[in-house]
Amino acid sequence: MTQVRIHGRGGQGVVTAAEMLARAGFLAGHEVQAIPSFGSERTGAPVVAYCRFSDARLRTREPVLEPDVVLVQDPTLLGPARPFAGLAPGGIVIVDTTADAPWVREHAGAQDADARVVTVPATRIAMDLLGRPKPAAAMLGAYAGCADHITLDAVQQVFRARFPGAVGEANAEVATTAFAHVRGDLYTRDDSPEKGDAAAPAGPRIVPQEVSRA
């Protein structure tokens, strides 16, 4: 069984990410389960969702306490949400940030954690290609890039099915870009505007917010 925990903020599509992850896992042949943890929270409040993959039918309803993979959709949650808590030894932590892994470890107080930390500028990619701060497709694309639980093709499929048309296509491209980023083809769009401009959404461009390092 593979267990995943997703941290983010209300409005970022955390629950959607968990559901899309389950759908992608099902396409990969797993039994799957996605469990959102709802609060009566508003947009911006911390939200957690969980996902499980297994070869056997999933029966438990308890939240994921010992994740193999943690996705953090907002780096300002690295401290308060304690994303490394309960992480299985050698587990993967994928963080939406323009910063690097040592910065993530420092801000999560996890300098010595037995973990593989992967960073991806998911919100920046989403803003560039989708025009909205919805990093879910990028996070799942990054996940597909660093573990074989799901495939990039499955991630693209589930977003195209959920958001038919231009939004689904843009999400598929977001996933591809994030996948390429973690595979080493670092995302350099902001540094090299000539790269991939054809995919830029029409309308005013919103400058991605830089993560505060204070």
Partner 1 sequence: MREVLEGSQAVARTVARCRPGVVCAYPISPQTHIVEALSVMARTGELSACEYVNVESEFSAMSVSIGASAAGSRAYTATASQGLLYMAEAVYNAAGMGLPIVMTVANRAVGAPINIWNDHSDAMAMRDAGWLQLYAADNQEAADLHVIAFAAAEELGIPAMVCMDGFVLTHATDVLELATQEQIDAFLPPYSPAQALDIENPSTIGTMAGPESFTETKYLQHLRFLDAAGVIEAWSERFRKAFGREAGGLVARYDPDTLDRDGDAPPASAEDLAVVAMGSVVGTLQATLAPMRAEGLPVRLVGIGAYRPFPREALKAALGDSRHIVVVDRALELGAGGVLTGDVGRALAHTGSRIHSVVAGLGGRPILEASLRDAVRRALADELPALDFLDLKAGGVPEPPVGATEVAR
| Interacting residue with partner 1 among 5, 9, 23, 105 (CB under 8 A) | 23
- By CB under 8 A, tell whether 6 contacts partner 1: no
Minimum distance of partner 1 from residue 164's CB (angstroms): 14
CB of 81 closer than 8 Å to CB of 7: yes
φ/ψ of 34, rounded to 5, equals -125, 130
Closest by Cα among 182, 93, 96, 190 to 139:
96
Window 64 to 83, contacts with partner 1 (CB under 8 A): 65
**Residue written as token pair 């598929």:** 172
CB of 130 closer than 8 Å to CB of 170: yes
| Interacting residue with partner 1 among 15, 17, 71, 115 (CB under 8 A) | 15
Helical ranges in the chain per DSSP H: 14-27, 101-108, 122-129, 136-146, 152-162, 166-182
Minimum distance of partner 1 from residue 66's CB (angstroms): 11
Of 11-19, 96-104, 168-176, 184-192, the window that binds partner 1 (rule: CB under 8 A) is 11-19
Which residues contact partner 1 (rule: CB under 8 A)?
Answer: 15, 18-19, 22-23, 26, 31-36, 38, 40, 58-63, 65
